Amino acid sequence: EVQLLESGGGLVQPGGSLRLSCAASGFTFSSYAMSWVRQAPGKGLEWVSGFSGSGGSTYYADSVKGRFTISRDSSKNTLFLQMNSLRAEDTAIYYCAKVLIAGTTFRGFDPWGQGTLVTVSS
């Protein structure tokens, strides 16, 4: 069974940094693209960043480009999101998600983790 478990969320002051982790199991981690998607309280989904499968390419939403960095450690089956220069509008539940089809990056996310809450406030 595929499982994704996020961690690392919490309360951080504006301008601060946080590193999220997503521990994956149940599939060949290095063969599948992964993404981070966030959801502000009471709001809709917003794609944040993606990491391709074997190619190692990274992609970012304009809203986080230059502030967030996605990476992965295939030896530990873990996806990361380093978040710097955090703003109040970054407050959200952050989900990691696996792409459905190996060799693709954006064609459907399945499954999703349970999410980790990031709150940016002074």
Partner 1 sequence: QSALTQPASVSGSPGQSITISCTGTSSDVGGYDFVSWYQQHPGKAPKLMIYDVSNRPSGVSNRFSGSKSGNTASLTISGLQAEDEADYYCGSFTSSTTLKFGGGTKLTVL
Per DSSP, the residues of 21-74 read EEEEESS-GGGS-EEEEEE-TTS-EEEEEEE-STT--EEE-TTTTTTEEEEEET
- Out of 61, 82, 84, 91, the residue judged to bind partner 1 by CB under 8 A: 61
The contact mask relative to partner 1 for 77-116 (x = CB under 8 A, - = no) is ------------------x----xx----xxxxxxxxxx-
Whether the Cβ atoms of residue 35 and residue 109 lie closer than 8 Å to each other: yes
> What is the distance between the alpha carbons of residues 53 and 74, in angstroms, rounded to a whole number?
10
**Neighbouring residues of 31: CB distance < 8 A, sequence distance ≥ 6:** 53, 54, 102, 103
* Closest distance of CB 111 from partner 1, Å: 8
Asked if 45 interacts with partner 1 (CB under 8 A), we say yes
Contact region with partner 1 (CB under 8 A), list: 12-20, 22-30, 37-45, 81-89: 37-45
Q: With contacts defined by CB under 8 A, how many residues of the chain interact with partner 1?
A: 25
* Closest distance of CB 92 from partner 1, Å: 13
The token pair at 104 is 């693709």
Binding residues for partner 1, rule: CB under 8 A, are 35, 37, 44-47, 50, 59-63, 95, 100-101, 106-115
